[in-house]
Amino acid sequence: MNILLIGLGNVAHGLLTILQEKSDELSKRYGFTPSIVGVATRSRGTIYHPEGIPISELLNITRKGDFREIENVRYDLDVLSLIQQPDVQVIIETSPSNFETGQPALDYCYAALNACKHVVTVNKGPLVVDYAGLQQRANEVGCGFYFEGTVMSGTPSLRLALEALRGAKITRVRGILNGTTNYILTQMENGMTYGDALSLAQDQGYAEADPTDDVEGWDAAGKLAILAAALFGTKLKISDMKVSGINGITSTNVQSAQQADERWKLIAEATPVSASVRLMRLPVSDPLSGVSGAVNAVTYTTDLMGDVTLIGAGAGRVPTGFAILSDLLAIHQRFKS
Ligand SMILES: NC(=O)c1ccc[n+]([C@@H]2O[C@H](COP(=O)([O-])OP(=O)(O)OC[C@H]3O[C@@H](n4cnc5c(N)ncnc54)[C@H](OP(=O)(O)O)[C@@H]3O)[C@@H](O)[C@H]2O)c1
């Protein structure tokens, strides 16, 4: 499988580490032998070699290193030209998410599908903006379009709903889809103020220097839009959803919930006709209430199985790299001739 990697940051590093460490196992168990033929970034340009670029060399230059350290490759192709190269079979989109335009990833995804290349994306932007259009184009051209890592990273939230629960009707999805805010709420239950808990989250690398997207609920809303589109076919704009975050919560709020055997959680919830992200007080008996720290969880309410809850990592290099691997293996299995 010849792969073009768009973005060479944290997630790409996680994927490349897994591919390097599991190379023998992936080949023996699945007959899966990936080759990275091209890489594209924003500030460092692109590299391309149809016979593959050694993963060990790519790992040396993820996030910061200079592409000129890699010899015998082409440096002259722009991203759209790279996507068109006949040797590229799959593109992996790991550039930053833009929920308003989906760009430039949306153009990259369409360019790949139009050229009959499979797409794996962990970038939420293109799906938040145009889930239905991308799915339709993938179906028209008969290519794989996979995006497990966009919701709960490698914890298989989408695969559980779309594959394992196939045949059951999902009537509602409810989840803790943002680890940063759950981490902050957990620290507040341990006695910290909101400000101190946010600072700790930033020190620990859970929160960005600008935490707005997390604490105001936008990151969770993006993931909910993808879930609602995938499960219910809802064409929801984030601007159509009721979205609020955790930034108004006080230590007093947290303590009074604890005294009533309840916990505050930032809950993203959708049914076929509604979607919202908001702080809710959940009884300790609710499975989502027991989810602590930077962990994610989702509960699917179904007709045949009642509630089914999945708990696991929601971010991180290796979990998100694993999400991409699981999608690559799905493509390998589905399209092998
Ligand atoms: N990190 C996580 O745990 C996680 C989990 C789930 C989903 N995601 C999603 O995965 C994506 C990547 O996250 P990350 O943490 O790996 O980000 P990151 O470390 O900031 O890396 C982003 C990479 O994308 C490249 N890039 C930026 N603009 C580009 C453009 N216009 N064309 C081509 N490449 C471009 C950057 O190039 P330079 O090297 O030149 O800066 C960089 O290599 C994001 O969409 C994020 O929302 C991340």
The tens digit of pLDDT for each residue in 275-293 reads 999 999 999 999 999 999 9
**Helices vs. strands in the chain: H and E counts, helices first:** 13, 12
**What is the Rg, in whole angstroms, of the alpha carbon atoms belonging to the chain?**
20
Query: What is the 283 CA–ligand 1 centroid distance (Å)?
Result: 37
- Output DSSP code: residue 292: -
**If pLDDT is split at 50, 70 and 90, which confidence band does 258 have?**
very high
pLDDT at 60 over 80: yes
Q: Among residues of the chain, what percentage have pLDDT more than 90?
A: 92
**If pLDDT is split at 50, 70 and 90, which confidence band does 62 have?**
confident
Ligand 1 pocket, mutate which of 15, 59, 94 (most atoms under 8 A from CB)? 94
Q: What is the pLDDT of the chain when averaged over all its residues?
A: 96
Structure tokens at 265: 């959680």
Active site residues: 223
CA distances from 331 to 2, 65, 163, 224, 265 (A): 12, 30, 15, 25, 36
Closest CA to ligand 1's atom 23: 7
* Strands of 170-176's sheet in order across: 242-243, 274-283, 262-271, 170-176, 295-302, 306-313
CA distances from 140 to 93, 137, 154, 321 (A): 20, 5, 27, 28
Structure tokens at 317: 């290099």
Ligand 1 pocket, mutate which of 10, 15, 43, 146 (most atoms under 8 A from CB)? 10
**If pLDDT is split at 50, 70 and 90, which confidence band does 63 have?**
confident
* DSSP string across 125-174: HHHHHHHHHHHHHHHHHT--EE-GGGTTTTS-HHHIIIIITTTSPEEEEE
**Tens digit of each residue's pLDDT (9 = 90 or more) over 6-48:** 999 999 999 999 999 999 999 999 999 999 999 999 999 999 9
Query: What is the 97 CA–ligand 1 centroid distance (Å)?
Result: 8
pLDDT at 332 over 80: yes
Q: Helix 125-141 to helix 218-232 angle, to the nearest 10 degrees?
A: 20
Select the more confidently predicted residue: 205 or 328.
Answer: 328
pLDDT at 66 over 90: no
Q: Spell out which residues line ligand 1, taking CB within 6 angstroms.
A: 6-11, 40-44, 79, 94-97, 104, 122-124, 149, 153, 315-316, 320
**76 alpha-carbon distance from chain centroid:** 30
pLDDT at 64 over 90: no
111-122 average pLDDT score: 98
**If pLDDT is split at 50, 70 and 90, which confidence band does 236 have?**
confident
Question: Could you identify the residue written with the tokens 């010849």?
Answer: 2
Query: What is the 129 CA–ligand 1 centroid distance (Å)?
Result: 18
Cβ–Cβ < 8 Å for 116, 89: no
pLDDT at 244 over 80: yes
- For residue 65, the model assigns a pLDDT of 78
* Phi (first) and psi of residue 261, to 5 degrees: 60, 40
- Output DSSP code: residue 214: H
The pTM of this model reads: 0.96
- For residue 42, the model assigns a pLDDT of 94
- Output DSSP code: residue 95: S
- For residue 55, the model assigns a pLDDT of 96
Closest CA to ligand 1's atom 29: 42
